[in-house]
Amino acid sequence: MTAKLIDGVAIGKELRGEIKQGVDVLEASGCKPGLAVILVGENPASQTYVKNKEKSSVEAGMKSELIRLPATVSEQELLANVNKLNNDDSIHGILVQLPLPDHIDEDLVIQAIDPSKDVDGFHPQNVGKMMIGQETFLPCTPHGIMEMLKRSGIEIAGKHAVIIGRSNIVGKPMGQLLLQKDATVTYCHSRTKDLPSFTKQADILIVAIGRAKFVTDEHIKDGAVVIDVGMNRDENGKLCGDVDFEKAKKVASAITPVPGGVGPMTITMLLKNTLQSAEMACRKEKSN
């Protein structure tokens, strides 16, 4: 058995076409969605992400604003920039690229973003809404994975989903979104004993731990769906995921590649959240 490839590039492209239509409709009514990104310092990975986000938002027809700040920027100055964007009616989405330098409190910065412009879905108010199933901005990577599963025709209800990783950005929200679609969810992490005994029960296995090719065929039940969130470099410096793709594809029924799997979906969902924010702001403006 060779696994079916879940193509994030193709799914993302389809979804971006829908987003572009939504942007065009909104712009025709006099409201152009705007996304602002704050980049602190010179982290190469962050610079690449930000460049891709900027390019994607322009392609979708959105206003794109990039604010570059030095790594030495004070917390106060960064917060002042966030506050300025909170009060800018032409900006509907604010994203502060993480990680931030050590002298800046990330939680404080996330909480400073207006929840109605928090298109990353990291603000505690939006996280709380997600937890109880209210409409809100969903964190982009888990949101993108849910969209991939849906558009690939993968049934979630009644399935056992196992997640390796418990970060606030991927692991924790991923489990909640799957739970809301009636999956039975198990979380595993670095302290889990006898990891394969859990992962081999998974109908849907989601791996987000940041360790190159850590998960092999020995972790995977025959016919499972495998979603690889990792982005690493292997021993030859080549991009790879947390899953050993060549081994895993022999036992999985469907699998995401790296690159070209989850990555393109993350930026796509950021655009979707920005469009959602702009639609809400325009409705509010028209009702006033």
* Residue 288, domain member (yes or no): no
Q: Are residues 155 and 203 in the same domain?
A: yes
**pLDDT tens-digit series, residues 236-257:** 889 999 999 999 999 999 999 9
* Residue 216, domain member (yes or no): yes
Domain final position from 79, 114, 149 = 114
Strand runs labelled E in 15-169:
34-40, 63-69, 93-96, 160-164
Which residue has tokens 């006099």?
30
Q: Are residues 146 and 104 in the same domain?
A: no
Q: Are residues 188 and 76 in the same domain?
A: no
pLDDT confidence band for 275 (50 / 70 / 90): very high
pLDDT at 48: 87
Model confidence at 284: pLDDT above 90:
no
pLDDT at 88: 97
Q: Are residues 171 and 259 in the same domain?
A: yes
* Residue 22, domain member (yes or no): no
Q: Are residues 59 and 148 in the same domain?
A: no
Model confidence at 287: pLDDT above 80:
no
* Residue 73, domain member (yes or no): yes
Q: Are residues 88 and 163 in the same domain?
A: no
Longest dimension (CA), the chain: 59
The alpha carbon of residue 276 and the mean position of all alpha carbons in its chain are separated, in whole angstroms, by 15
**pLDDT tens-digit series, residues 145-179:** 999 999 999 999 999 999 999 999 999 999 999 99
* Residue 229, domain member (yes or no): yes
Percentage of the residues of the chain whose pLDDT score is greater than 90: 92
pLDDT at 193: 97
Across the chain, what does the average pLDDT equal?
96
Q: Are residues 110 and 144 in the same domain?
A: no
Q: Are residues 83 and 173 in the same domain?
A: no
User: Rounded mean pLDDT of 34-61?
Assistant: 92
Model confidence at 57: pLDDT above 90:
yes
* Residue 255, domain member (yes or no): yes
- Residue 280 vs residues 265, 275, 286: alpha-carbon distances, Å: 22, 9, 10
Domain that holds residue 202: 140-263
Model confidence at 288: pLDDT above 80:
no
Percentage of the residues of the chain whose pLDDT score is greater than 70: 99
pLDDT at 96: 96
Model confidence at 1: pLDDT above 90:
no
pLDDT at 285: 78
Q: Are residues 250 and 146 in the same domain?
A: yes
pLDDT at 162: 98
pTM for this entry: 0.95
Residue 74 is encoded by which pair of tokens? 């004070």
Question: What amino acid is encoded at 24 in this protein?
Answer: D
Model confidence at 118: pLDDT above 90:
yes
- Give the DSSP H/E element, type plus range, for residue 207: strand 204-207
How many structural domains is the chain composed of? 2
* Residue 172, domain member (yes or no): yes
Q: Are residues 88 and 149 in the same domain?
A: no
Q: Are residues 231 and 166 in the same domain?
A: yes
Note whether 20 and 60 are within 8 A (CB).
yes
* Residue 6, domain member (yes or no): no
**pLDDT tens-digit series, residues 12-22:** 999 999 999 99
Catalytic positions are: 53, 97, 120
Q: Are residues 92 and 41 in the same domain?
A: yes
CATH number (domain holding residue 58):
3.40.50.10860
